[in-house]
Amino acid sequence: MVDHDRIAAALAVFEAENYRLDPSRSPQERRLAAMEKAVAAAGAEPRIAAPDAADEVGGWIVGNGTGFRWRTWKDGLPDWTDDRSEATRYARSQDAEAAHAEDEDAFIVVEYRPPSARFDLVAHLARQKAFSERTFGPGARTKGVIDHIRKELTEIEADPADIMEWVDVVILAFDGAWRAGWEPEAIVKAIVAKQERNEQRGWPDWRTSDPDKAIEHIREEGHV
C-alpha cells in the first residue's frame, strides 16, 4: 500500500531538487518528475504522463465520488481541482490506482481526454457495454433494468437538480438498448433518427400546456 505521508514529504524534497538541477524546466514538468520520484520512494512504481504525452494519449486521472473533482497536488499535499486538465495525469490506470490506494476520498480512476477531443458516443457505448456485461452479467435483464429506472426516477423526484440522477436514467436506457440486441452504432443512429422525427412533428403550444403533464405530439390520422 502507498504511504501518502511519505509521498508528501518526498514530493517537497524532490521538487526542490528538480528546481536546483534544472530551473529551466516548467513548474508542471518539475512537479510531474517530482511526483514520480516521490511515489516510487513510497513503495509504488507509477509512471506519470509527461505533459505532451498526456495531451496526446490522455492519461488517467483520479476523481471523487461525484466525478466533478479531480486529484492534484499542492504544496506537497493531495488537493482537489474542478478542472480536469489540472488533475495529475498518470500514464496507466494501475499507476493512478497505486498512487491513491490509501486515499480515502478518491473513488474513481478514469481516462483523461483533452478538452479538444471530440466525444465519441459509439466508443463510449462500447465501453459501457463491456463494463455492464462484466459487472451485471449478460442477457436482456429487461425487468431488472426497468425496475432500476423506476428507482432512479423516484430519486429524481426527490432531487430534480441533481444531474447525476438524470444521468443514471440515461445510462440505464443505453443499457436496456444494447441488452435488447442493439449495437452502439445502431443506438446512435436511432437517437439521431428520433430527434429528426420529433423535429418534423407538430406539437401543441407549451404555453397552454400543464407543466406537470407530458406534452405529446399532435397525432394525425394514420400517423403515430
With 60 as the cut, is the pLDDT of residue 158 above it? Answer: yes
Instruction: Please list the residues that pair with 81 across neighbouring strands.
Output: 70
What is the average pLDDT across 168-178? Answer: 97
Q: How far apart are CA 214 and CA 180, in angstroms?
A: 26
With 60 as the cut, is the pLDDT of residue 20 above it? Answer: no
With 80 as the cut, is the pLDDT of residue 210 above it? Answer: yes
Torsion, CA 106, CA 130, CA 180, CA 196, rounded to 10: 70
Q: Is the Cβ–Cβ distance between 92 and 60 less than 8 Å?
A: yes
| Beta-carbon-side half-sphere exposure of residue 93 (alpha carbons within 13 Å) | 6
pTM: 0.56
Q: Is the Cβ–Cβ distance between 179 and 131 less than 8 Å?
A: no
With 60 as the cut, is the pLDDT of residue 97 above it? Answer: yes
DSSP state of 91: S
